[in-house]
Copies of this chain bind each other. A is one copy, B any other.
């Protein structure tokens, strides 16, 4: 190893890191565990413990039904406004609701209905599989002959930008993409693609699950129409925490929620048999939100707002670049192939490497090295860097562990692997 690839060098990077103090704001019960899966489930902000206690004992246990009038009813907007600040939207343009897939369904149906006569839905083949399921089913349900066109990536890593631009036409109702690709981390130029879709009169629906909290999304600047995303990855909202819906202000009153509920009705306590949508984005709410899982999102958002999304992006770009440098010098010779973009502007906050023995290597990292990355079949390991708690030393140690166990083939006992989770 050269001087650059040393523990001392990694530590000097940590010493110069202006976000280093945020690590102490998270629960890290085992400081030797290297957690590189914040892109699947972010760590627990320390203050979430006290908040959970308050939610159960005071709000539920003591305040009971009265708590609805002391904050629970407004929770979807209150959390939404903080999300909006992270996503570069207006506070009234983001609201917490349901799961990413349910929200994608609502917005896809609403968007297709808002572009009658157009039959094309465009996406790429790198999008998250369940986004395909939803787009297919939403169009099947409408029964108006929509087709879902999945433009293939040229290399399985980069989004098919040229193909998408060529396919966008006057028949396109909806362009729906993941902003950051779950597998490679490739990140689209959200503003450029939004503008291209608008040029042909199509609507755009972004899935921000893998970019929100990792980089500035700037929805308003891009005039992005619609977006959804989860809150449990880079936003550190807790396991399965509810998702969000973003709708650009100018579009809100024209879009119709296909799953209307009492939470989104104008005069929600009037108990009228006919639906009338709330004038605000609440119209896209449906049922009663899960209060614990919703309220516990807030500590993670507060930490991101305090740190600043631009600062988070700068550190994440430095960490992915550092890891790619380590790969280039140390891991490429050991049969690891880079499955993420080398261009830092089109890269998210995780780096994917493939290897013929990736499944066994992933298990060996977890069980022999106490390093948790994320395996994606058949042969990809994703390494997620979470600037608020991942240190450069951890990035270095992860690369060093990969060198050690691959060079010595010490992953061989782990050839039998178990399923893992997003």
Among candidates B44, B55, B287, B422, residue contacting A52 with C-beta atoms closer than 8 Å: B55
Which residue of B is nearest A183, CB measured?
Answer: B271
When chains A and B are docked, how far (Å) is the Cα of A418 from the Cα of B68? 12
Evaluate contact between B99 and A64: CB separation under 8 angstroms: no
Q: Considering the complex, give the chain B residue whose CB is closest to the CB of A366.
A: B66
**Cβ contact of A288, chosen from B43, B48, B240, cutoff 8 A:** B240
**A259–B287 alpha-carbon span in the complex (Å):** 16
Segment of A101-109, A219-227, A400-408 engaged in the interface with chain B: A101-109
Per-residue interface assignment for chain A, residues 229 to 260, with 1 indicating a CB less than 8 Å from any chain B CB and 0 otherwise = 01010000011111100000000000000111
Inside 8 A of A239's CB, which chain B residues have their CB?
59-60, 67-68, 72, 288, 290-292
Contacts of A29 in B (CB 8 A): 57, 61-62
Residue of B nearest to A241 (CB): B290
Contact B260–A137 (Cβ < 8 Å)? yes
Task: Pick from A9-17, A125-133, A327-335 the stretch touching chain B.
Answer: A125-133
Stretch in A33-41, A82-90, A306-314, A349-357 touching the partner: A33-41
A48 & B44 in contact (Cβ 8 Å cutoff): no
* Pairwise interchain contact A101-B133, C-beta atoms closer than 8 A: no
Q: How far is the CB of A253 from chain B (nearest CB, A)?
A: 18
A286 touches B102 (CB 8 A): yes
Report yes or no: B66 in contact with A44, Cβ–Cβ below 8 A: no
The minimal Cβ–Cβ distance linking A216 to chain B, given in whole angstroms, is 25
Bitwise interface map of A from 252 to 287 toward B, beta carbon under 8 Å scored 1, else 0: 000000111110010001111111000000000011
State whether B377 touches A101 (Cβ < 8 A). no
Contacts of A274 on B, CB cut-off 8 Å?
A: 132
| B56, A261: Cβ atoms closer than 8 Å | no
Is the CB–CB distance between B372 and A66 below 8 Å?
A: yes
Any B CB within 8 A of the CB of A150: yes
Q: Which residue of B lies closest to A182 (CB)?
A: B271
Are A272's CB and B53's CB within 8 A?
Answer: no
* Cβ contact within 8 Å between B40 and A374: no
Among B129, B136, B242, B293, point to the contact of A271 (Cβ < 8 A): B129
Tell me if A143 counts as interface (CB < 8 A to partner B): yes
Interface membership of A49, Cβ < 8 A: yes
Interface assignment of A23: CB less than 8 Å from any CB of chain B = no
Residues of B within 8 A of A128 (CB): 262
Asked if A37 contacts B65 (CB within 8 A), the reply is yes
C-alpha gap A101/B263 in the complex (Å): 10
A242 and B275 within 8 A (CB): no
Contact, CB under 8 Å: B134 / A260:
yes
21 contacts between A and B (CB under 8 A): A27-B57, A44-B57, A44-B61, A48-B56, A52-B56, A53-B53, A65-B421, A68-B239, A99-B289, A100-B288, A101-B286, A130-B287, A132-B273, A132-B275, A137-B275, A141-B142, A269-B419, A288-B422, A290-B293, A290-B294, A293-B294
